[in-house]
Amino acid sequence: MDQYRTVKNEAEDEFVERRSRFIGRVKPVKTEEDAVSFIRACKSKYWDASHNVYAYSLREGSVRRYSDDGEPQGTAGVPVLEVLQKSGVTDLVVVVTRYFGGVLLGAGGLVRAYSHGAKIALDAGRIITMALCQTAELVCDYNQYGRLLSLIPEAGGVVTDTQFTDVVEISFQIPGESLPALNRKLADATSGSVQAQAAGELFVEWKD
């Protein structure tokens, strides 16, 4: 199954390390323009901060970018990006803001602090799996509806809409590899009178 991990929501969390305040923020994005826009918004909001360190990862073009934003090289942006890579997430941007508290953390302390800022941001945004699914539709009679409705989740599908007219039209999402098996079950249940038709593809949150 074609799938990837990202975060569900834009979110933030913060902590204090030796009087320095760290704010970790995350947002799901699809393009580099969206990532840069979020970074600029964070810098504008926290204009008086000591540093606004960021990293982002995108599926499109396998783009990876980061910035130490004035912190010693390798102590801020790289650790944030490494948290994203180790977590296996993409299509998102993380900004870790620091308000310096007057106590130097040292290189190791900075690495740990920025890594933690990225981690709490991911936790706040909630990591999810997105899977490529087929959108599909089927049309059936009212006397077939109850039985066929139960077959869709049994095959791993999720019903997204149902229209009741002179017939019943059911729209649903299902992993692409599961659609042929569902159609075999539909054929068995209706003596071949009902088949689901694929309507397209999209990535949806996948529930294991």
| Residue 207 neighbours by CB under 8 Å, 6+ apart | none
- Checking if the pLDDT of 184 tops 90, the result is yes
pLDDT in tens, 13-33: 999 999 999 999 999 999 999
Give tens-digit pLDDT for 41-98: 999 999 999 999 999 999 988 999 999 999 999 999 999 999 999 999 999 999 999 9
pLDDT of residue 177: 84
Residue range 154-173: average pLDDT?
Answer: 93
The answer, yes or no, to whether residue 208 has pLDDT greater than 80, is no
The band of 175, judged by pLDDT with boundaries at 50, 70 and 90, is: confident
For the chain, list the domains and their CATH numbers: 3-125 (3.30.230.30), 129-205 (3.30.70.240)
Q: What is the pLDDT of residues 117-154, one digit of tens each?
A: 999 999 999 999 998 889 999 999 999 999 999 999 99
Contact indicator for 165, 172 with CB cutoff of 8 Å: no
Give CA–CA dist 86/79, Å, rounded: 10
Does the structure show a pLDDT above 80 at 1? no
Residue 89 near residue 23, CB atoms below 8 Å = no
Question: Positive or negative, the Cα torsion across 79, 77, 90, 9?
Answer: positive
Q: Examine the pLDDT at 37 and tell me if it is beyond 90.
A: yes
> E strands of 141-196, at which residues?
158-164, 168-175
Token duo for residue 88: 């296996």
